[in-house]
Chain A
Amino acid sequence: MNNQLAYEETFDCVQCGYCLPACPTYTTMGKERHSPRGRINLVQMASEGKISLKEIEDSMELCLGCRACETACPTNVQYGKILSSYKEVRMQQEGSPFFNQLAMKKGLSNKGMLNTMNHSLRFYQHSGIEKLAKVTKGIQILPENLRAFEAILPNITKPDKALRKGTLIPHKETKMKVAFFTGCIMDVFFARINDLSIKLLKHAGCEVTVIKNQTCCGALQHHEGDSETTIQLAKENIRAFEKDHYDYIVNSIGGCGAMLVEYDQLLQFDPDWSERAKVFAEKSKDISVILAELDIQFTKKVEKKITYQPSCHLTNVQKVKKSPLDLIQRIPAATYIPLPEMDMCCGSAGTYNIFHYKESMEILDEKMDYVKERVPEVIVTSNPGCHLQMCMGVKREGLEMSVEVVHIVEILAEACGL
């Protein structure tokens, strides 16, 4: 009997199979063991010692962790817990690959290292080295998956320091006081989106503070099964954000936000932290929720056909579905066209598209079939991972000239004239 796996939780599954159509890997791989029901059963069997961890590895590792199955489940199975328990046990038994571990444990939570990364990427893009690498085919030394990502790297900009210093006061009355959560990868690759988020919040009537001592949310480490690091990061963030009073802690990253709202679960058995984690989790909100509530004023028309690819963790974990749609539909002169099967993961899923490139691309291809059917001019996303993946999809289909991928904050900022 393996007591570390979430064995009790597996009994909540009545094996009705309602999760099957919601699961991207079941859809593309077509085998029961790549379905949520299959995986839950495999964890149960592994707990009972009827199958080894090695034998279930392939099924479990190929799970995206999108948690769409939780939304589809009629009996509220806590799939996230079951999956994490497996990841944790695997991590303890085998450890995670060295490179991975280094990035997870040290890199993402290290401000200096992230700054250097931002700086080097900017240097790479603007110094001509990028061009050189492409012209000389020097780029070919990268494996296919990384090469694919190099090709869709966004234009890296420097985070705007002025926006991150002190507290920004709105021009008119202050409607709420918020602290802004920047995220680590977001501030390297998409600093501009964070800049725009801060401006939008101010525009909508928020007093905005970018807390200095905040750190990585811990989501990627958590997905890898590294609870120790995750807990440590959670505590650091809670400590940083409780120094002053804020109505909300706002972020514009679907995946990180999902981790933040689950800090309470992470620390529920720690008497010193459980209450503080609960307060933090309750205050953590996606930017769309705040902007929809504050009724932002649009000043410019955006005459475009817009579709929306939601972040799975925003939908299935944060349970935010309506707010982004409301906001998009309120943009003056914009036409919203719903993407069929929009709740299906795009295949990005943290580091999944790097480590399981082939499987990820099969999932992406399904998604792009719907995009081609609907012919939008803009694909709106709500998470940097999904954003890059959709850029990749657009590139793979040769649609770069006709389809633009933006974060929801970018299109809202455009409509607000920011």
Chain B
Amino acid sequence: MLTDEMVEQFKKAIKSPTRMLKEKADLVSYSYDGSFGAYLPELVIQPMSTQEVVSIVKVANQYKVPLYPRGRGTSLSGGPLPVHGGVVLDFSQWNQKLEIDCDDTIAVVSPGVLTAEIDKAAKKYGLMYPPDPSSAHVSTIGGNLAENAGGPRGLKYGVTKDYVLGLEVVTPEGEVIKTGGRTIKNVTGYDLTKLIVGSEGTLGIITEATLQLVPRPQATGTMMVIFDDIVDAGRAISKVLTSGILPSKMEIMDQASIVAVEEYESIGLPTDVDAIILIELDGHPVAIADECKQVEQVCLMVGAREVQIAANEIAAEKLWKARKLVSPAIVRKKPTKISEDATIPRSKIPEMFKRLKQIKEKYNIDLVVFGHAGDGNLHPNIITDKRDKEEMKRVELAVAEIFETAIQLGGTLSGEHGIGTMKTPFMKMELGEAGLNMMKRMKIAWDPKNIMNPGKVFPENENQRLVLVDE
């Protein structure tokens, strides 16, 4: 429990008291994110400078108050949820710094900058910030760094961690450290940058990031490939990726999602097919034209029914529309959507599809698959209603089985959403006792008082399991 004295101390830590929120409507409004569960914080602070963060952390350290950094609360894993009370730090308003240095091809940003704004700023210099989570126009870079977010372009360009050169971090004792720097090559000491990225705010608080930018491809080409059998689609993905071509995006839609889209807004997709793959290639326009033809041949060879190549940008947009409509289309039946991001090695894509189908039947649930097929980050989505307690129980079991299957196939719990609260019960399954223990030892060494985003990443007890409904 926060005492008046602590609140007073926190108030002194920030320049303007209007950025300290404690009315009930505010606390309720920072109790959730894009995932499941709601936990009331005791206080919300909106820091706007490193100095403020330092002062806040020092107070928290003195009184052992838990701190939960939060961007714009789009997390799908529960990263910013204040599960043990304490203070939510809302970084969304600290978005003032966005500097592009085109000679060094880097961007230096404050944590509240929107991810899409970084790419937009880079574009002016012919550069690109590749990570493109579908929430990039809403989510902050701070949140992306903490959760190590990915996106469709991950297939070719990797995820957030692949573009971070350096960080400014406030430690749990309130000291400011700089990790990495402004150079691509930097092997001085331990790579703390990579340790912090994806640590979900459990080791320290990121107050500034130096990001690497890449030359912006001149053009893109889009195509839609239609399959009668989803297993062929899986094979086509592997074949394309071993044919010497690396597309920037390869997104799959299974039959359930195609039918849902057509029922929602008829855009002329064939509904008697098993799967559609949308492929985007980027690079020099001449190379793209040539590669499109090669991809077409490869797909037809493994049994694709039809390949449509977009003639221009408008046609490309039309093809992508199908993918964009999946979300609104699938939630029409039932409102709750559980988007999982268990990821498997590419070669196991056909097998994963088969197993997902079995899980769907076994638990009698609505499960659709649409996601980043090329990198094995399939995104099975379960459509349900969180008020239906009986069905939610089956959903919990199905989600658990999806995780188990991914790990059995040599994959991972999370490709891009992070562990947060939702996947903690499965950590040991993937990492093993010793693996998880090493991670815990690092956490204890960094944050002995456990004030940095407690309740995340690590299971809090042996019997913890996935819970999606209030019991």
Measured CB to CB, the residues of A under 8 A from B are 11-12, 14-18, 20-21, 30-33, 35, 37-38, 41-42, 45, 50-51, 55-56, 58-59, 74-76
Contacts and interface: CB of A to CB of B under 8 A. Distances in A.
Interface of B: 21, 23-26, 28-30, 32-34, 46, 72-74, 90, 92-93, 114, 135, 137-139, 327-328, 331-332, 335-337, 385-387
B71 to A, nearest CB: 9
B23 A38 contact: no
Contact of B30 (A21, A32, A45, A59): A32
A75 B73 contact: no
Given A74-B328, A75-B327, A75-B335, A30 B72 contact: no
A230 B317 CA distance: 41
Given A17-B72, A32-B29, 11 more contacts: A11-B385, A15-B34, A18-B138, A30-B93, A31-B21, A31-B26, A32-B26, A41-B28, A42-B25, A51-B24, A76-B332
Contacts of B90: 32
A33 B331 contact: no
A75 B139 CA distance: 18
Contacts of A38: 29
Contacts of A37: 73
A38 B26 CA distance: 9
Contact of A12 (B30, B93, B335): B335
B135 A18 contact: yes
A45 B138 contact: no
Contact of B28 (A11, A51, A76): A51
Contacts of A32: 26, 29-30, 73, 90
Contacts of B386: 11
Contacts of A59: 25, 29
16 contacts: A11-B385, A14-B331, A15-B32, A16-B138, A17-B73, A17-B138, A17-B139, A18-B135, A31-B29, A31-B46, A41-B29, A42-B25, A55-B23, A58-B25, A75-B331, A75-B335
A193 B32 CA distance: 48
Given A32-B30, A32-B90, A42-B25, A17 B331 contact: no
Contacts of A50: 28
Contacts of B335: 11-12, 14, 75
Closest 9 CB pairs of A and B: A32-B29, A33-B29, A38-B29, A17-B74, A74-B327, A75-B331, A30-B93, A33-B25, A12-B335
Nearest to B387: A11
A238 B74 CA distance: 44
A8 to B, nearest CB: 9
Contacts of A56: 25
Contacts of A31: 21, 26, 29, 46
A325 to B, nearest CB: 17
Given A30-B93, A38-B29, A17 B24 contact: no
A35 B92 CA distance: 13
A14 to B, nearest CB: 5
A20 B73 CA distance: 10
A30 B92 contact: yes
B55 to A, nearest CB: 20
Nearest to B21: A31
A42 B29 contact: yes
B74 A33 contact: no
A86 to B, nearest CB: 13
Contacts of B32: 15, 41
A33 B331 CA distance: 25
Contact of A55 (B21, B25, B33, B93): B25
Nearest to B32: A15
B135 A42 contact: no
Nearest to A11: B335
Contacts of A74: 327-328
B293 to A, nearest CB: 34
Contacts of B327: 74-75
Nearest to A38: B29
B220 to A, nearest CB: 23
A21 B25 CA distance: 20
Nearest to B30: A32
B337 A14 contact: yes
Given A17-B72, A18-B135, A33 B26 contact: yes
A33 to B, nearest CB: 4
B239 to A, nearest CB: 33
Nearest to A73: B328
A14 B92 contact: no
A403 to B, nearest CB: 27
B25 A16 contact: no
Contacts of A16: 34, 74, 135, 138
A52 B387 CA distance: 22
A21 B328 contact: no
Contact of B72 (A14, A20, A42): A20
Contacts of A45: 28
B146 to A, nearest CB: 16
